[in-house]
A and B are shown apart, each in its own frame.
Chain A
C-alpha cells in the first residue's frame, strides 16, 4: 500500500469511517491470515481465532491509530503478534517445543553450520516438522519489522524493490534490514536450540 492510500485510510479511521476500515481489511486480512498461519502452523486450529481476535482488537482501537508512529501494517501485525503470544500463553506448548529441541540435539551433522549457512541441511531434516517448530519459535522472537522482511523475501520471494515499496523505505534500507534480521534470526535460533529442552519458551 502506498503512502497516500495509507494516509487516506488513517484519516478515515480517525473519523470512524466504515469504508476506511473495509479498505484496511481488504488490504491486509489475507496477509494477516497467512502470516499467522505460518507462525502457528497451517494445521493449527486456533489460526482463525487469532485472526479474529486480531481484527476485533484492531477495530476497537483503530480510531486511535496515529500514522506518525508507523505504518498500518506494522500496527496491525503488532496486534496479531500479541494475539499469537497470548494464545501460546494459554497452551501447553512447552511439550512440543521440548520435543523439537530434543530432536535437534539428536541430529548427526554440523547443525550450527546449517544455521550459519556454511552447509546445507539434508532434505529429511528440512522436511521434519520439528525443524518448522524451531524456525517458528525463533521467528516469533523477532521484532515485527524483521519478521515482515524475512517472510517477504525468503518465503514469498519478493524482490527487494517490492518489499521496499510495501514497507515504505528505500531498497538499501531493506537490504540492510534483511542482514540484521537474518543475524537476529540466527541468534534466536541458536539461543533456542542451545537451551535445555524443558526451557520455558512457549512461542512456536
Chain B
C-alpha cells in the first residue's frame, strides 16, 4: 500500500515517461515562426479593413440603408450565373424577342412559396431601380457600368452613394436572360423538356424545364406574346423566382437617374471593395449567426432563403444581447459582409456546410469546408470557428 505522496510521485513517474529524449525548443525556428505568424496576422488584419469601413460609416442612419442596399445588390446579383444551356430550337424561338428588348420589369422572390421577400426591379440598360419589401421607403438605383449605387430614403429625404469595387463585369437581368437565349441554341449541358400548357391563375402558359444535375430552370411563356412571364431557378442551395416579367415596358428614364433630388440631404458613403472579402469575414458572419440569430447554435443552412428571411430574428437576438443601435447596425453589417464570401465564392469546386445543430464553441465538429483557389488542401472551419488546412483524403465525411 502506498500513501498520497507516493501516489503523486508514482503518477508523476508514469506521466514523465513522455519526457524521454527531452530537447529544448528549436530557438531559430521559433524566431522565424514569430515573424511568419506576425505577418500572417497582419495580412488577415489588413484584409479586414472592409469591416472597419462599415464601422466608420455606420454612424449615420442613411448610410446604414445605403450599406444594406449594397449588400442586397451584391447578394442578389451574384447568384444569377447561368452556366451551360440546352438545345431546344422551339424554346429559343420563343425567347427570341427578349434579345431585342430594351427594358424589363419583374418581381424577384427568394425563398419558399408564401414566405418570400420580394424584390421589385425595373431594368433599363445598365441601370436597375430596385425596391425591397423589407426595406420600406428606400429606393435603390444601381448602375452596373459605373458600379455605383444611389440609395434614397424618402421618409427622411436623405440620399447616399456607394461605389462598388471588385465585382467584375456584372450582368443585369436583361443581359442574363439574353445570354440564356443565346446559349440555349447550341450547348447540350441541359436537357430541355417542353411540358406543354399549364394553367396559372386562370391563364394558360407554355412551360419549359431546363435541367442538369445541379440546377433546374423552369420558364413559363405566354402563348400569345411568346414572352416568358415567370422564370424559376432551383439549386440545392436556393430557390429564386423572377415573376411578373414584362418586356419593353415604357419606363421614364428619370427613374434611373443617379442625380439626387433637390431637397434631399446627401452623404458620401465611400466605396466597398468586394474583392477583399475573405474567410475571416465569413467566420465573423458565422459567429454572429450563432451568437445572435440562432441562440448558441449554427443555422440549419446558410442558403439565400435563410439569409433573406432572418431580418426579424436578428433584431430579436440584438435585443436579447442589449446592443446599442450603433452596435446593432455594425453587427448586422458585419454579418452581411461575410455572406459575400459565399455569394462570390472563388474557390475550386464546392463549399460544404454541415453546421446544422452544432453548438457554437464545439471545436471537435467541422461546420464548413471549401477548397481555396489554386490550393491542394481544403480549409475546414470548426464549431469553435478555428480553421485548419486539411488534405482532400482527410475531409469530414
Contact = CB atoms under 8 A, between A and B. Distances in A.
Interface stretch (B28-36, B63-71, B76-84): B28-36
B382 interface: yes
Interface string A118-131: 11110000111101
A83 B14 contact: no
Interface stretch (B4-12, B92-100, B260-268, B302-310): B4-12
Interface in B338-366: 361, 363
B29 A48 contact: yes
A117 B386 CA distance: 38
B11 A61 contact: no
Contacts of A57: 386-389
B390 A21 contact: no
B19 interface: yes
B20 A132 contact: yes
A131 B14 CA distance: 8
Interface in B186-224: none
Interface residues of B, number: 52
B20 A59 contact: no
B15 A135 contact: yes
A89 interface: yes
Contact of B385 (A29, A64, A89): A64
Interface string A182-199: 100000000000000000
Interface in A50-97: 51-53, 55-64, 69, 78-79, 82-83, 86, 89-90
A60 B279 contact: yes
A62 B18 contact: no
Contacts of A55: 33, 36-37
Chain B interface mostly helix, strand, loop or mixed? helix
A63 B363 CA distance: 17
Interface stretch (A2-10, A34-42, A162-170): A34-42
A25 interface: yes
Chain A interface mostly helix, strand, loop or mixed? helix
Contacts of B252: none
A154 B280 contact: no
A127 B20 contact: yes
Question: Which of B15, B18, B385 has the most chain A CB atoms inside 10 A of its CB?
Answer: B18
Contact of B283 (A56, A61, A131): A61
A51 B33 contact: yes
B387 A154 contact: no
Contact of B37 (A34, A58, A78): A58
Nearest to B27: A30
Given A16-B45, A82-B382, A56 B36 contact: yes
Contacts of B155: none
B327 interface: no
B389 A53 contact: yes
Question: Which of A30, A82, A118 has the most chain B CB atoms inside 10 A of its CB?
Answer: A82
Given A48-B29, A60-B44, A82-B382, A126 B394 contact: no
Contact of A118 (B2, B14, B45, B382): B2
A21 B15 CA distance: 32
5 closest A-B pairs by beta carbon, nearest first, are A16-B45, A59-B41, A59-B40, A33-B25, A55-B37
Interface of B: 1-2, 6-8, 10-23, 25-26, 29-30, 33-34, 36-38, 40-42, 44-46, 48, 279-280, 283-284, 287, 361, 363, 382, 384-391, 394
Interface of A: 16, 18, 21-22, 25-26, 29-30, 33-34, 37-39, 41-43, 48, 51-53, 55-64, 69, 78-79, 82-83, 86, 89-90, 114-115, 117-121, 126-129, 131-132, 135-136, 139, 150-151, 153-155, 157, 182
13 contacts: A16-B46, A26-B34, A30-B25, A39-B18, A42-B22, A48-B29, A59-B41, A64-B283, A86-B394, A117-B11, A121-B14, A126-B13, A155-B18
